[in-house]
């Protein structure tokens, strides 16, 4: 092993070790670092416009962009989180005390159904809903308890939360200011071809923006609209149910309907017809159309990810990374698909080149080999010999006479020495 090879391997080993150590050091703050980078990528186009209008003053442009993020994102999220914690704690107390029983609402809906429907449900063994009532009550208890527990943990870890929040804002400022420099350094550091680096980086940024705009924005819109109609109709916990509808909006077509649909049915069977009709129409025409109208406008066809891939990657990401997995899951799925697309295209190109080379070698071999069973046809490799024999035959038979005459005209016969001397003496 020569010295240069040993030097290269040691440097590569050192690079891997220090990179892993750096990630390990940042891991306690990975949420703050992650969301700082995500917000920087999302607001980068707006920041570039602000910087252009300010004449390239990067610090001032980054500060204005940071204030915009605070107003548009941080303040609404903080308000919603506070209301969610309050309503979740109230729901937990009501369910625990027995004042709120979801099973009784289901039983009222079943009692209002026609007898034929009830007989059919009894025939299939789903008429007795006591177990379903218990599961609904237990699910409501667990959900509200989880919200209350998270609120208690945030209250206990206020100092840690404030540090993470400050790190996120601090990192966001510098990523907005120096984002182009960081992006250029990353492109230089990735050991791939320029085409592959451009494709992967574009896919990376496109998926992040499309995920946030398409999933989070649509979910927030559906949750907000659902919370508004619940508040108007006097349903308790409108913010809580709006957040639930926002999370369920990941399910295509039926997500938010899993919340407002049963409530509309309950209104109808309990005699509150106008509330039920209004909620049903509002859910279909307003909440349901948000996904069909707003998502194509915000996302378009950038990600090219099927809905089922987005769903399972989001749920899997949230199972592994918590709330951060809402973005991490689709991002990993998109990079996975993009990497395999690059590999398949390169493999197809390489396979086509190899097939072309084999085809050329086969054609060259067939050109030199005599064809079996065709004795009357001369081999292509002997064509120059045949032409030479034909040329000799034509010369003997006088076919090249014109060619000889043409040669005589271009090269006249040489005169004898006596004739040249006589002509010289005459001139004298």
Mean pLDDT (the chain, rounded): 73
Instruction: Give me the mean pLDDT over the 344-354 stretch.
Output: 68
Higher pLDDT, 272 or 279: 279
Q: Tell me what pLDDT residue 284 has.
A: 87
Distance of CA 122 to the CA centre of its chain: 47
Angle between helices 30-42 and 325-368 (to 10 degrees): 70
Are 168 and 32 in a shared domain?
yes
Residue 328 belongs to some domain of the structure = no
User: What was the pLDDT predicted at 21?
Assistant: 93
The answer to the question of residue 110 being in a domain is no
User: CB of 260 within 8 A of CB of 283?
Assistant: yes
Task: Report how far residue 44's alpha carbon sits from residue 338's, in angstroms, rounded to the nearest whole number.
Answer: 23
Number of CB atoms found within 10 A of residue 191's CB: 7
pLDDT tens, residue by residue, 54-68: 887 889 999 999 999
Closest residue by Cα to residue 250 from 302, 317, 204, 300: 317
Query: Measured in whole angstroms, how far is the alpha carbon of residue 146 from the centre of its chain?
Result: 31
* Residue 220 three-state SS: helix
Residues in Cβ contact with 372 at an 8 Å cutoff, skipping those fewer than 6 apart = none
The reported pLDDT for the residue numbered 388 is 46
Q: Are residues 232 and 169 in the same domain?
A: no
In a domain, 421, yes or no: no
Residue 276 scores a pLDDT above 60: yes
How far from 118 is each of 112, 115, 367, CA to CA, in Å? 10, 5, 83
Mean pLDDT of 390-412: 43
Q: Are residues 215 and 285 in the same domain?
A: yes
Residues 182 and 220 in one domain: no
Kindly state whether residues 242 and 173 are assigned to the same domain: no
Q: pLDDT over 70 for what percent of the chain?
A: 61
Question: Which range of residues forms the domain containing residue 243?
Answer: 201-298
164 in the same domain as 15: yes
Alpha-carbon distance of 327 to 143, in angstroms, equals 22
Q: 234 in a domain, yes or no?
A: yes
pLDDT in tens, 207-264: 777 767 777 778 888 888 988 998 898 888 788 888 888 888 777 667 788 888 888 8
Whether residues 210 and 65 fall in one domain = no
Short-list 94, 52, 125, 83, CA closest to 241: 83
**175 and 268 housed in the same domain:** no
Total residue length of the chain: 428
Where does the pLDDT of residue 173 fall: very low under 50, low under 70, confident under 90, or very high at 90 and above?
Answer: very high
C-beta atoms surrounding 145 within 10 Å: 16
Report the C-alpha gap between 411 and 134 in whole angstroms.
118
In this prediction, residue 167 carries a pLDDT of 92
137 within 8 A of 103, measured Cβ to Cβ: yes
Give this prediction's pTM.
0.64
Q: Give how many domains the chain has, as a whole number.
A: 2
For 290-303, letters b (16+ CB in 10 Å) and e give: bbeebbeebbeebb
Instruction: Give the burial string for 229-263 (b: 16+ CB within 10 Å, else e).
Output: bbeebebebbbbbbbbbbbbbbeeeebbbebbeeb
- Whether 94 maps to a domain, the answer reads yes
Q: How many Cβ atoms from other residues are within 10 Å of residue 174's Cβ?
A: 13
Listed residue (246, 245, 247, 250) closest to 263, CA to CA? 245
Write out pLDDT tens, residues 312-323. Answer: 888 888 888 877
Query: Distance between CA atoms of 169 and 181, rounded to whole angstroms?
Result: 19
Q: What's the CA dihedral at 85, 91, 97, 102 to 10 degrees? A: -150
Q: How far apart are CA 214 and CA 196, in angstroms?
A: 26
23 and 60 inside one domain: yes
Residue 418 has pLDDT above 60, yes or no: no
Q: Are residues 159 and 53 in the same domain?
A: yes
Pair of tokens at residue 346? 């390169």
The DSSP annotation for 369-383 comes to SPPTT-TTSPPGGGH
Residue 70 pLDDT > 80: yes
Torsion (CA) 370, 374, 378, 381 in degrees, nearest 10: -10
Q: How many CA atoms lie within 13 A of 118 on its CB side?
A: 11
Of 298, 327, 347, which marks where a domain is finished? 298
pLDDT, average across residues 383-412: 44
Domain end position, chosen among 236, 269, 298: 298
Q: What is the pLDDT of residue 303?
A: 56
Residues 168 and 231 in one domain: no
Looking at the fold, whether 23 and 81 belong to one and the same domain comes out as yes
In a domain, 354, yes or no: no
Query: What pLDDT shows up at residue 174?
Result: 93
Q: Which pLDDT does position 381 carry in this prediction?
A: 46
Q: Is the pLDDT of residue 101 over 90?
A: no
Read off the pLDDT of residues 36-50 as tens digits, 9 standing for 90 and up: 988 888 888 899 999
* Tokens, residue 392: 């000799």
Domain final position from 250, 278, 298: 298
Residue 289, in any domain of the structure:
yes
Does the residue 366 lie in any domain? no
**Res. 24 pLDDT band, cuts 50 70 90:** very high
Q: Residues 39, 176: contact at Cβ < 8 Å?
A: no
């Amino acid at each position: 092993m020569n010295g240069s090879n040993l030097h290269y391997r040691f440097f590569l080993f050192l690079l891997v070790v220090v990179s892993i150590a750096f990630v390990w050091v940042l891991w306690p703050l990975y949420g703050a670092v992650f969301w700082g980078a995500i917000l920087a990528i999302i607001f980068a186009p707006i920041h570039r416009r602000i910087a252009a209008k300010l004449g390239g003053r990067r610090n001032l442009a980054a500060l204005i962009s940071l204030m915009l993020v605070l107003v548009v994102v941080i303040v609404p999220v903080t308000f919603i989180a506070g209301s969610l914690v309050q309503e979740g704690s109230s729901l937990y107390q009501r369910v625990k005390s027995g004042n709120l029983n979801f099973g009784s609402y289901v039983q009222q809906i079943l009692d209002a159904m026609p007898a034929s429907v009830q007989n059919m449900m009894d025939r299939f063994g789903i008429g007795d809903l006591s177990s379903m009532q218990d599961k609904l009550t237990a699910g409501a208890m667990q959900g509200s308890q989880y919200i209350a527990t998270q609120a208690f943990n945030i209250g206990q870890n206020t100092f840690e939360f404030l540090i993470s929040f400050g790190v996120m804002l601090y990192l966001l400022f510098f990523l907005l200011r120096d984002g182009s420099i960081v992006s250029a350094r990353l492109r230089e550091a990735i050991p791939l071809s320029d085409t592959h680096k451009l494709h992967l980086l574009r896919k990376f940024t496109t998926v992040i923006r499309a995920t946030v705009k398409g999933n989070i924005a649509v979910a927030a819109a559906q949750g907000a609209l659902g919370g508004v109609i619940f508040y108007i109709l006097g349903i308790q916990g409108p913010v809580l149910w709006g957040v639930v509808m926002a999370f369920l909006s990941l399910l295509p077509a039926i997500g938010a309907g899993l919340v407002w649909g049963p409530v509309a049915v309950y209104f109808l069977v309990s005699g509150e017809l106008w509330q039920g009709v209004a909620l049903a129409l509002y859910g279909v025409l307003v909440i349901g159309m948000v996904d069909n109208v707003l998502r194509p406008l915000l996302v378009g066809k950038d990600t090219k990810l099927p809905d089922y891939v987005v769903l399972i990657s989001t749920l899997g990401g949230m199972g592994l990374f918590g709330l951060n997995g809402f973005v991490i899951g689709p991002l990993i799925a998109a990079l996975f698909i993009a990497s395999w697309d690059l590999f398949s295209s390169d493999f197809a190109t390489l396979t086509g080149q190899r097939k072309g080379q084999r085809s050329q070698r086969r054609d060259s071999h067939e050109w030199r080999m005599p064809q079996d069973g065709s004795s009357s046809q001369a081999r292509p490799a002997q064509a120059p010999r045949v032409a030479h024999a034909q040329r000799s035959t034509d010369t003997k038979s006088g076919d090249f006479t014109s060619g000889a005459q043409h040669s005589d005209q271009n090269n006249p016969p040489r005169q004898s020495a006596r004739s040249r001397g006589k002509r010289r003496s005459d001139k004298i």
